[in-house]
Amino acid sequence: MLYHVRAQPIVAEMSRFWVLLNDGTIEAQEPDGREIVASMRRAVVNGGRVEWQENCYCSPPLRHERATVYDQFFTAMETGPSVPQEPPEGESFWHYLEDCRVTKGSGRGRSTVNLARYVPLRIF
């Protein structure tokens, strides 16, 4: 069944989530790793929350996904039936994660976490 999921990202964990999504760790997880990665590629950020559609066949919905992955990276998760023709709208979550990724410098053991994000401000 297709579900619509909304959750609050744990910002401090997003760089680690990016690494696990890209190094094959999550994708190799059976039976749902490939669907988790695909869902995160489709996910959007909307109003500070992440929204996505995900196929799941367990009861309660996303039970295994939450126990093994999602509860480490998200809070306040809401899951409900989805209308397939209505994907969520917003900014790409994958691009948001790219902004949070760990990048390695040319120096030995050097790495930085880039959590900076351009946020337009209005000054009145």
Specify the pTM.
0.78
Give the Å distances, CA to CA, from 13 to 16, 56, 72, 95.
5, 24, 8, 15
The H or E element spanning position 38 is helix 33-42
Q: Which amino acid is at 36?
A: I
Task: State residue 83's pLDDT score.
Answer: 76
Burial, 70: exposed, middle or buried (Cβ in 10 Å; 0-12, 13-18, 19+)? buried
pLDDT (tens digit per residue) in 30-44 = 999 999 999 999 999
| Predicted pLDDT of residue 85 | 64
The pLDDT value recorded for residue 60 is: 92
Cα(54)–Cα(91) distance, integer angstroms: 18
Mean pLDDT in runs of 10 for the chain (124 residues)?
A: 94 94 95 96 94 91 95 96 78 90 45 42 51
